[in-house]
Amino acid sequence: MISVLDFISEYKVLFPELLNFQPWEITKNIITVLEKKIADLNSDYKIENGIAIHKSAIVEQGVVLKAPIIISENCFVGANAYLRSGVYLAESVTVGPRCEIKSSFIFPNTTIAHLNFIGDCIIGNHVNFEAGAHTANHFNERTDKRISV
């Protein structure tokens, strides 16, 4: 069994309810997970229509946000970014201009430079995606579904 804990230390603290799930099960259920987490957020977040933005976060002009989304403290989301249906940005995440992020968890101090696509992913802490990178889920058509790292 692949454990996200082997790769992302903050995972246990931020998502203890998901410890027994495989990574592909986690992103598949991200909408339900985030809806529950938004309900538990405090007044440090402005919450409107399923979108929670920490008061210290900066979201530039032209950003499109589709719920549910959590943008944590000290995050930066650049102009014309597109965050859709299930995005969790942990503390101090930077999303550059014109990025698209879908159904993904992005952990602390990670930078997603301009013109990136991140889809159906769990991205660890202190990760740097340079400009124009694309990463997305892998559809596993094999009979033996086990994945090793």
- Known catalytic residues are 114
* 126 backbone φψ class: left, alpha, beta (φ>0; ψ -120 to 50): left
Euclidean distance between CA atoms 59 and 96, whole angstroms:
10
| β-strand pairing of 64-66 with 82-89 | parallel
Token representation of residue 10: 């903050």
Nearest to 53 by CA among 62, 68, 148, 84: 68
CA separation for the pair 43, 39 (Å, rounded): 11
Token pair 């597109």 is found at 82
